[in-house]
Amino acid sequence: LTLDYGPFGFVDFYDPGFICNGSDKEGRYAFEKQPEICKWNLSKLAEAIDYALPKEESLKILEDVYDSVYTDYFHHKMMQKLGLNRTKDDDDKKLVESLLETLTSTGADMTNTFRNLNKLVASEKEEDCGAVLTYVVSQCPPPEEYASRFKSALPEGQLRAFIMLAQQGRLEALAGEAGVALLRKEMETLKLKEEWAKKSPEGKLKSDTEAWKAWLDKYQIRLNKEVAGLNEDELKAANTARVEAMNAVNPKYVLRNYIAQKVIEDAETGDYTLCNRVFEMLRKPFAEGEEFEDLDFGGTRPKWAAKLCVTCSS
């Protein structure tokens, strides 16, 4: 049995199609594909241990329980990240789904968004989400950077060849239905990229603000249900406990590619000062305080880092 630990990366601006491995052109291991690729890996494990547990039995167990176990655990972890641990609500699943849709449509920084949702205060009164709204919207990328997520899976030369064959009416004969479907997907990707690249910063700011205002209002209502009926002291204690619980599962710092790149560049000159500081920072990913503020690694990635990508040989 060989366990291959390939390259990994943390999602910066939220993108379900995020691919952390530059060699994974088809997106087999994209962020949104992790549940199904995990299931596939377990099926390969079942084959490897067939001598101890017949794969007919283990594969049936996998089919029977994996999807439900994964879904339940994912929901449980999302409730923790949202600080909704006291009560359950029939609309919690919809709340999570709409959060993921909002993250996708706006591209907000995943780490920083979750980390700062604890700034909302649960109350039986109507609360103003203005400060949190302003912050989360500031974590959304401008149009041109959002557009960069729409990448072609084909080399430019191959794409041009596919287009030429399609224009000549020979693509399906030479590449089959799969080739036609691939070209259609590529053209849709290019169209989206062009549309987003043309969108104005003001237009995206407006749509981002509207999207996040709508979701934060729903989240505030759900937070308030958590503390319904509590007296003033109980309410204060509940809010304090919620902030502490959220800070324990939503990291302030993660190893973003640009941070690793800076460490590598310094280390190549023989200077390991930043390497040691980042190592200490990553040992305390949930820590509040000013210990690592001077590193300035708590914000969104810089524009130059958008193209950074690792491979198995990195």
pLDDT for residue 288: 85
Residue 4: band (very low, low, confident or very high) from pLDDT cuts 50, 70, 90: low
pLDDT for residue 127: 66
- Is 129 within 8 Å of 217 (Cβ atoms)? yes
Question: For 253-312, how does the pLDDT look when each residue is reduced to its tens digit (9 = 90+)?
Answer: 999 999 999 999 999 999 999 999 999 999 999 988 889 999 999 889 998 888 887 776
Nearest-CA neighbor of 278 among 302, 258, 301, 249? 258
DSSP 8-state assignment for residue 111: H
Number of H helices, E strands in the chain: 12, 0
| Mean pLDDT along residues 162-175 | 77
Distances in Å between the Cα of 179 and the Cα atoms of 24, 29, 187, 292 are: 18, 21, 12, 50
Q: Across the chain, which distance is largest between two alpha carbons, in Å? A: 75
Q: Among 22-26, 104-108, 284-288, where is mean pLDDT lowest?
A: 22-26
> How many residues make up the chain in this entry?
314
Dihedrals phi, psi of 247, to nearest 5 degrees:
-65, -20
For 20-58, the DSSP string reads -BTT-TT-TT-GGGHHHHHHHHHHHHHHHTTTTS-HHHH
Dihedrals phi, psi of 139, to nearest 5 degrees:
-95, 5
Average pLDDT, rounded, for the chain: 89
What tokens does 273 get? 């000062």
d(CA 130, CA 115): 16
CB neighbour class for 1 (10 Å; exposed up to 12, middle 13-18, buried from 19): exposed
pLDDT surpassing 80 at residue 97: yes
pLDDT for residue 33: 93
More confident residue, 263 or 155: 263
In Å, how far from its chain's centre is CA 235? 32
Long-range contacts from 295-304, C-beta under 8 angstroms, 24+ separation = 297/253, 297/256, 297/259, 298/112, 298/252, 298/253, 299/112, 300/12, 300/13, 300/109, 300/112, 300/139, 300/141, 301/12, 301/13, 301/256, 301/257, 301/258, 302/258, 303/145, 304/258
Residue 73: band (very low, low, confident or very high) from pLDDT cuts 50, 70, 90: very high
For the chain, the distance separating the N- and C-terminal CA atoms, rounded to the nearest angstrom, is 24
d(CA 32, CA 266): 34
Nearest-CA neighbor of 13 among 89, 78, 84, 103? 103
DSSP 8-state assignment for residue 305: G
pLDDT for residue 165: 77
Long-range contacts from 28-36, C-beta under 8 angstroms, 24+ separation = 35/70, 35/74
